[in-house]
Structure 1
Amino acid sequence: MTDAVAPAIPIRAVPVSPGRTPWKQEAIGFAIALLVLALLPLVIGDTYSRHVLIMVFIYAVVASNWDLSLGYGGVFNFGHLALFGIGVYAYSLLTKLVGLDPWLALFAGGVIATVAAVLVTIPILRLKGIYIILVTFGFAQLVMQIVISQSAITGGTQGLVRVPGLYWFDHNMIRDGKFAYFYIALGLLVASTIFLRVFVRSRLGAGVVALRDNEEYAISRGMSLVRQRMITLAASAFFTGMAGAFYAAYQRNASVDVFGMSLATIILSMVLLGGASTIYGAIIASFVLTVFGEAMADFGAWRPMITALLIIVVMLVYPSGLVGMIRAGWGAIAVRMKRTA
């Protein structure tokens, strides 16, 4: 009598976590979005609209990287905008005073911001809650005061003007209708987003989330709070610093306004409105808030109040932000399609 052979059971090599979009689907969606954005300058004719999109890309890089430390890491790092400002002044001083090549200074802005993030991590390694907020906020104020006090080098409250811009061989990037700067900003956003998504899907990213959700249990399983927190803040700093450097190259000036609460409030609103711990949510919210704000330019003092009302309504209806709204809408469409099939 022969033994019955059990049927083979297919085994998935890499299981997909519940609620996580498979790599292939995410890559397809990412490629489609990139193609649409790359074609926008061919559709949008005026220079000002391209300028708005460039600013959207800059804000999106800063906001999505803040989402890494704030949303995924659960670290209330209110010194994140100081890293952006460090990138601004690092690029400006290196190109204007030292004479460093602008492209090298662009990269150096990210490196210097990363070093600054590591330094600010040291005093908050063992802190929690409000104490992290106070230390990181104090760090941002310290950087701003250093910039103001060293006016002979940094220009103080007057800032720096005529900062050297980027170049592309003999191409005149100032008089090309902002085409070149548009694609450089888009490339920066693409590189930053790919890095962030790879990071959060990696073992390092899983460790960061584990510490956020249950710190005591994660530590008991052998995870290092010090190591993970330092990696998280350093990873969120590099492209933030590069975004600051690009901002200085694009605007061709550096001002202490980049350390102000106004910009910090805007970027934080993008993180929260888009939906924390999503990366894409902060990017989507950057488009929505920036374009919405420009569309209401004629409303004067009413503009920030209307924007704040929009954020409140969205957060009340969809606590998970714009990403939650999109998911709910897509789920409703999928249900209807199943019913009609």
Structure 2
Amino acid sequence: MSLPSTPLRLAAAVVVLLLAILLPFVVTGGAAKNLVVLALLFAVVASNWDLTLGYAGIFNFAHVAFFGIAGYVSAIATIYFGLPVWLDIALAVAVVAVLAGVTAALALRLRGIYVALVTFAFVQLCVALIISQKWLTGGAVGLVGVPDLALFGHRLSPSGPDYLILAELLLIASTVFLRFLVRSDFGLSIVALRDNEAYAVARGISATRQRVLAMVASSLFTAAAGAVYAHYLIVASPDVFSFSLTTLILSMVLLGGGATIYGPIMAAIALTVVTEQLAGFGVVRFMIIAVLIVLTLRFLPGGLWSLGERLTVLRRNSKQGIGA
């Protein structure tokens, strides 16, 4: 896989940084701001799912459950136990990391489709527990009244740019963390296990340990995004565990391109915006999005991110042809 040259990567980083700085000043409308915040939070979830699905090759359907559980942990900690906001986010991340480790340790004893079935069953178990424990979780209605986040006495306002900036910072921190992780020896080890497990194990890599660690690592920023999501919407709802949201975020990973990180981020922003723009079509919009995804995967099997790589290769080949 060809990578852009260092000057191009630096230029792209500068452009992204400028866009991040300007975004809170450009997006001022309430509806547009809400859409951007949701898109950025979903981008965090999708890119972290890519760590297990794309890089590690783990068919893990519990990922969206980690997002939802974090929201409920934050809501319960603040509403019932009076835990200070921000501290409840740290608690949510810790709880979800433990759950991710336990789920991975149990599910990864299996292989292939059975891992997907066990993790999907975990999601359904979470939904059943949340709906049945109405006294604690609010049941099917959800837990309403999650307080806004506050920093140094300043309460983050949903109507201002506060949550948008927070979502931006969360996405940037998550992306830096993921890039560091996939380029490390750990990242190389999970890719080796994905591509040739027998050879990787023969070279001394522990398959179970590395995959469990990948699941835990992918849950950290996902949990942080889930907690912020609950504070932003002031409600923790069982709708987060719905099959529609799971398929939407999975579509972001597949459409953007597995094992790329940046691809799912691009697709998350694009799909969130497109879904909102097609809201007037009702349920038909899901059919339209499905057709777009199928066409993209048909002509770009590597996802949207592979389009940039193809253009880079074509440009390089054309230069070599001119030089020849």
SS, match of residue 163 in structure 1: coil
1:337–1:217: structure 2 CA closer, same or farther, 3 Å change rule? closer
Which is greater in Rg?
1
**Cα RMSD (Å):** 1.9
- Structure 2 residue corresponding to 1:131, chosen from 114, 118, 121: 114
Contact 1:69 1:232 in 2 (8 A): yes
Q: CA deviation at 1:337?
A: 5.9
Asked if structure 2 preserves the Cα contact closer than 8 Å seen for 1:125 and 1:225, the reply is no
Aligned length: 323
**1:48 correspondence with 2:27:** no
- Structure 1 match to 2:102: 119
Q: Which residue of 2 aligns with 1:165?
A: 148
Does residue 73 (structure 1) correspond to residue 74 (structure 2)? The answer is no
Aligned to 2:274: 292
CA drift of 1:146 comes to 1.4
1:14 aligned partner: none
Q: 1:272 aligns with which of 250, 254, 257?
A: 254
* Structure 1 position 295, deviation (Å): 2.0
Contact 1:51–1:178 (8 Å) recurs in 2: no
Map of 1:218 onto structure 2: 200
Amino acid corresponding to residue 264 of structure 2 in structure 1: A
Q: Give 1:298 shift.
A: 2.3
Aligned to 2:237: 255
Distance 1:204 1:27, change over 3 A: farther
Conservation of the 8 A alpha-carbon contact between 1:81 and 1:264: yes
**Residue matched to 1:241:** 223
Shift, 1:32, TM fit: 2.4
Q: Which residue of 1 aligns with 2:298?
A: 316
- Deviation by residue 1:117-142 (Cα, 9 ceiling, x = unmatched): 00101212321101111111111111
Q: Match of 1:259, as an amino acid?
A: F
Q: Does residue 30 of the first structure (1) align with residue 28 of the second (2)?
A: no
CA separation of 1:40 and 1:113: change in aligned 2, threshold 3 A: same
What letter corresponds to residue 151 of structure 1 in structure 2?
A: K
Return the letter of the residue paired with 2:287: M
The AA in structure 1 aligned to 2:135 is A
Percent identity of equivalent pairs: 43
1:10 is aligned to none
Question: Deviation of residue 209 (structure 1)?
Answer: 0.2
- 1:195 maps to a residue whose letter is F
The code of the aligned residue for 1:132 comes to V
Does the residue aligned with 1:178 lie in a helix, a strand or coil?
coil
2: distance between equivalents of 1:57 and 1:278?
17
What is the CA–CA distance in structure 2 between the aligned matches of 1:84 and 1:199, rounded to whole Å?
A: 20
Which string of whole-angstrom CA distances, capped at 9 and with x for unpartnered residues, describes residues 269-323 of structure 1? 0000000000000000011111112222222232111111111111000100001
Of the structure 1 ranges 246-255 and 101-110, higher mean CA displacement relative to structure 2 is found in 101-110
Q: Unpaired segments of 5 or more residues in structure 1? A: 1-17
Matches of 1:253 and 1:39, distance apart in 2: 29
Which ranges of structure 2 fall in alignment gaps of 5 or more residues? none
Contact 1:63 1:267 in 2 (8 A): yes
Among residues 189, 193, 196, which one is paired with 1:207 in the alignment? 189
Amino acid at match of 2:17: L
Shift of 1:37: 2.4
Q: TM-score, normalised by structure 2?
A: 0.94
